[in-house]
Structure 1
Amino acid sequence: MGMTGQAMAAQVASTFPADDAVNVSVNLTAVSITFSEVMGLSSSYTTDVDFWGPLGGPTWSADRKTLTITRINQEPLPAGVTLKFSLFNIRDANDNLLSHPGQEPGQYSFSFMVGTSVDAIPGVVVTIPANGAAGISRSLSKVTITFTEPMDRCCSSIASSFPESNGTWSQDHRQFYWTRKDTSTKLLPGFTYTFVLNGIRNLERRYHGPRSGGIEPFKSLADC
């Protein structure tokens, strides 16, 4: 209560992530806003659905001081983007509009940048066959490498003990295919085939990790 006996207008006490935060994890699953007073239940919000995904209903804490917005889409957020959340029609338990310095009555906006230095490095999601796999069919004709994001197709190469093959990219540039030219000859039994990617980088020219220069070996054992 103020000196006049009137209730103090509610303000935003904190947000998670903090306003203007950087290096926020791409695996962020929710944001939260904590207020200085007990709040009413009415609220609405907006954000960039292209990055955040579908909008779900926010939830209030038991003391009605913290509003949490949980992601429905659990895929990693894209690194390097700035997400802005805007709240509207925010009122306290006495039906007074939120009054935060520098913001319109009843409104509050905050933003943060997604992606750490590690998140910004493109990586391999999966390989077919899997790295270290055994018992691979001797008739295997193609190896597939799937990346976390679209890759630059201009400057990549692969070194391999696999028989002579052609390398091609998928239409979205996220998958690399290494296809044997001669499929009539079976792979050697009990032999470990190794593949080393070199110069693989994304469209922002960040090299694929974890090794410098975009080099990462994986191998499979033909056995049947």
Structure 2
Amino acid sequence: MNKTTRILVADDEPNVRLMFRTTLQVVGHDVAEAEDGEAAIAALRGSGPFDLVFLDLRMPLIDGMATLRRMRDEGLLVPVVIVTAHGSVPDAVEAMKLGAIDFIQKPVRPEELREVASQVIRRHSAALDPDGGRAPTVSDIESYRFSEALMRAKRAMSQLRRVEAELFLRRALDLDDRSAEAHTLLGILLLAKDEPRAAREEFDQALEADPGYLPARHNLKHLQARYSS
């Protein structure tokens, strides 16, 4: 029998909370609500474990960023998806550094909300409980966050959302600066932005991490041919 997943929606707008709750409940999630950061922290402390938190950045009393800091300071490691206003992708940068897994922008489409919730919960459960009951270690959590960031970067690149892709790649490299793949993908993005010097630095770092990584070698060769005089 599948375990019912519990989701906390923290947002100061009642209409947003209602939309999130009805959208998620219809596919079987148990949804609780919090109207501000204080209420979110209280719910996380006192009403049993949650599988996911949707956290709005703009809330009274304690905003989303401060709420996320307090969660991490108190060891509340539940996955967090940041909810931002449309067009405010840069606001998610600090949240990613604090360990947020993903972000979505308002207005949120119901199908997008359900897809994000399903994917994050499924991957988080598989990554942090591979042995069916083993408590996750710090290494497990960091590895999971790296994989999430890299996966989101690749998805954003495939959809030509370059600002979002760069955000997630830099998040991935914050977690593992020896990832040849992440350095190479960032180099490709920077090359698309016509920043060849920065792109070359990323390809060089990829090859320093893994001298045999062929995508970095091929892209570096392409860069040198393109910009040679």
More helix, by proportion: 2
More strand, by proportion: 1
Question: TM above 0.5, one fold?
Answer: no
State TM-score, norm by structure 2.
0.24
Q: Which has the bigger relative contact order, CA under 8 A and spacing at least 6?
A: 1
State TM-score, norm by structure 1.
0.24
